Structure 1
């Protein structure tokens, strides 16, 4: 059976899609483009309204395509699947499987059943009381795994920030057993992974529930970092209210813990932060930044920012711009606030107009572009090690370029005229030019 996966949203969704593709391939299924596929799988995101609407748009396009062959069907998974549930069956008759956020491990069996039973429909939507483990598919003989890998360490969230739908579509926090995390990380390194990113809605609160068996996130970091052969370790996402001093110290003590951290600020206004239910203020956030940079000088900080939250004034927005400059974020994900069903902020007034929110977002993103350029220009002239991800989109007709990331997560494009595939290799480069969102490097040190 040929299948095609379309993924929206966060790295956790991307990781789930990757696992599902490998699980289906291990059963003899074959990935295909959207012309040849017989099964379409949408892994969805509902954190904001826009990606949710994209799901309906894609399904609308697929409906026209699927009418030509009644044997072709679709499955919807992820956060929108959890939110809408069996409602997809009424709106889109060709959707025959709805997979909630806790049921990804059940999807391969369900898809095989649907392929054999053309009249069957299934909705798998129950939340589980514990982290749902899933079997790792056996790799194809002689094929190494990817150099960069992602490992889920928890599911759900207990914070209930006023704007956030995550606790409603991913459930309450459930930490994964530390032994299972370590076993997966060791296996990935044995199969060729050189960099691992630990994933969770709020990794800093790992172990605060019974699933973590009393192991803190700082201790989990140290255990993973000690795996022989692991050269780089990252994690995302962090909530500032739970950033423990032991985690901050780990940045200065663990050599393979990368000098980068995504630390969502959301707003620079204490008044807005209170309405958001974030449980920290500007002073606390700036104190964390000071501690982090004392522990690991040069640590790169990135963030999430929301503009137009209900009641946000021009003064509130100005405080966010001020905080951006004080911290010097290397990059940020920034969005206009949008009401999500069931969250507290949907009932808050006054709403900020679309025009005002759009203008604020433009202003914020222009400032971020300036901050990003300044950060990248400071890197020019230095040497670093880049983990190559694959061929770069930057090609100038001369030497081919390869794209990779330095330890801080910055994108680096490197020219290399050899015919060898550099994917997965770690190479020494000298940074020679800063672009808008990336760096240009050239080989340095010993030959590659």
Structure 2
């Protein structure tokens, strides 16, 4: 049968979707566009506001378009599936599989059973005490040059606003050999850049399920895999970013000078209510250490406005921190209550119109930061990992798209190159656009 995967939310879901695709293809299923599919798989997110409404809207749309096909059905996975569970069955007759974050490993076999047994419904919602290692299957064809590798699952931090520990469970780390083995297989199939994924990669290996390997040692092991030219990781909790990990930015050429380091607020009072475990002075010390280790490091962040009790003065401190750090860019969100979190009970709540105004002001500042960061690259020589063809050709013919070590998108022409995918190209940046850069090849590429 043909299947189609729709992914909402974080890179963890993207990585999970990539693994499920490989697994299903190995069992004889065929990936397809939605109009041609009979199995519809949704990876859902419950971190932001109104996740149930988003999932309901998508399920309703699928039912309207494909409900007339008696063989068609839906599988719902990810955080919202974990949160709502089998209640999805009662509301949406096409849903026949609900799987949580720890249930993903069993999803391929469950889908095969459902195909063979019409009317069967299954749920995979139990949490496990150790990382649910997934069977790895690999296509014969070369893979794209970039891949995600999950190194852990869940989180032990319980920040006041965050639902992740409730829908992804407590922290469980993979073993070092399992991670390295997956990276080796990816490299053998053409992958040149891996992004190590976890809710808090900085605490990798330190949980009861881990093998005691610290994150810095994992970075060393992945960097030693032949063929891997670039390493990235996300997400990092500032309170757990250690000096030995910061040192790896100077010591490992494969570790890209780019770090997403969510600060969430520039107010110490708000950070304390959030339960983040650091203050702005500690955060700024981390920034100073990172820039000493790697002066060209590109820093990005997450920010929440309108957390309960946030005053105008608190918000101004957030703007001040953005200016002080000089982030290249950032993701910003209005606070919303998530069921079961500590902040749901905190008062006073910030009025919606105040939150909206603060978000607009913050996004204006972040847009200016992005513009400045891109403009600063003009004239610089960098190395671009080509990911594929650009959506539009340039004035000199076919254009290719990739990213520089800082994670910025670079479009460039490579005359006479039939397929540059996976190549590392030395390029000079000639122009900054609104969200990307235009480059020009400097010399022969590999």
- Quick check: TM above 0.5? yes
**d(CA) in 1 for partners of 2:204, 2:445:** 42
Match of 1:88 in 2: 88
CA deviations over 1:145-164 (Å, ceiling 9, x no partner): 22111110000000000110
Residue 397 of structure 1: how far off its partner (Å): 5.9
CA deviations over 1:222-245 (Å, ceiling 9, x no partner): 111122221111110000000011
Residue 65 of structure 1: how far off its partner (Å): 2.0
Match of 1:126 in 2: 126
SS at match of 1:221: helix
**Kept after mapping to 2: 8 A contact 1:66/1:94:** no
Match of 2:389 in 1: 391
Which has the higher mean CA deviation after the structures are superposed, 419-428 or 236-245? 419-428
Residue 72 of structure 1: how far off its partner (Å): 1.0
**Alignment of 1:10 onto 2:10:** yes
SS at match of 2:225: coil
**d(CA) in 2 for partners of 1:50, 1:402:** 37
Residue 438 of structure 1: how far off its partner (Å): 1.1
**Kept after mapping to 2: 8 A contact 1:8/1:51:** no
Match of 2:312 in 1: 314
SS at match of 1:212: coil
**d(CA) in 1 for partners of 2:375, 2:265:** 26
Cα RMSD (Å) of the superposition? Answer: 1.3
**Kept after mapping to 2: 8 A contact 1:268/1:321:** yes
Match of 2:366 in 1: 368
Match of 2:278 in 1: 280
**Kept after mapping to 2: 8 A contact 1:164/1:340:** yes
CA deviations over 1:183-220 (Å, ceiling 9, x no partner): 11111112211111110000000111133211111111
**d(CA) in 1 for partners of 2:79, 2:345:** 22
**Kept after mapping to 2: 8 A contact 1:44/1:52:** no
**d(CA) in 1 for partners of 2:52, 2:20:** 21
**Alignment of 1:187 onto 2:170:** no
Match of 2:20 in 1: 20
Match of 1:222 in 2: 220
**Kept after mapping to 1: 8 A contact 2:426/2:445:** no
Residue 165 of structure 1: how far off its partner (Å): 0.4
**Kept after mapping to 1: 8 A contact 2:298/2:406:** yes
Counterparts of 1:236-255 in structure 2, within 5 Å, are 236-255=234-253
Match of 1:62 in 2: 62
SS at match of 2:309: coil
State TM-score, norm by structure 2. Answer: 0.98
**Kept after mapping to 1: 8 A contact 2:266/2:320:** yes
Which has the higher mean CA deviation after the structures are superposed, 372-381 or 234-243? 372-381
CA deviations over 1:60-105 (Å, ceiling 9, x no partner): 1112123312221111000000000001001101101001110111
Residue 379 of structure 1: how far off its partner (Å): 1.0
SS at match of 2:123: strand
Residue 398 of structure 1: how far off its partner (Å): 4.9
Gap change, CA 1:67 and 1:427, over 3 Å in 2: same
SS at match of 2:54: helix
CA deviations over 1:327-359 (Å, ceiling 9, x no partner): 111111111111111001111111112211111
Match of 2:330 in 1: 332
**Kept after mapping to 1: 8 A contact 2:385/2:423:** yes
**Alignment of 1:75 onto 2:87:** no
Residue 415 of structure 1: how far off its partner (Å): 2.1
Match of 2:259 in 1: 261
State TM-score, norm by structure 1. Answer: 0.97
Q: Select 1:353's aligned residue among 351, 354, 362.
A: 351
Match of 2:147 in 1: 149
**d(CA) in 2 for partners of 1:292, 1:397:** 39
Counterparts of 1:41-52 in structure 2, within 5 Å, are 41-52=41-52
**Kept after mapping to 2: 8 A contact 1:148/1:193:** yes
**d(CA) in 1 for partners of 2:255, 2:34:** 39
Match of 1:165 in 2: 163
Which has the higher mean CA deviation after the structures are superposed, 362-371 or 44-53? 44-53
Q: Name stretches of at least 5 consecutive residues in structure 1 with no aligned partner.
A: none
Residue 407 of structure 1: how far off its partner (Å): 0.7
Q: Name stretches of at least 5 consecutive residues in structure 2 with no aligned partner.
A: none
Gap change, CA 1:416 and 1:46, over 3 Å in 2: same
**d(CA) in 1 for partners of 2:395, 2:408:** 24
Divergent runs of 4+, >4 A: none
**d(CA) in 2 for partners of 1:447, 1:243:** 35
**d(CA) in 1 for partners of 2:127, 2:158:** 17
**d(CA) in 2 for partners of 1:398, 1:224:** 38
Which has the higher mean CA deviation after the structures are superposed, 3-12 or 411-420? 411-420
The alignment of Structure 1 onto Structure 2 pairs a total of residues equal to: 446
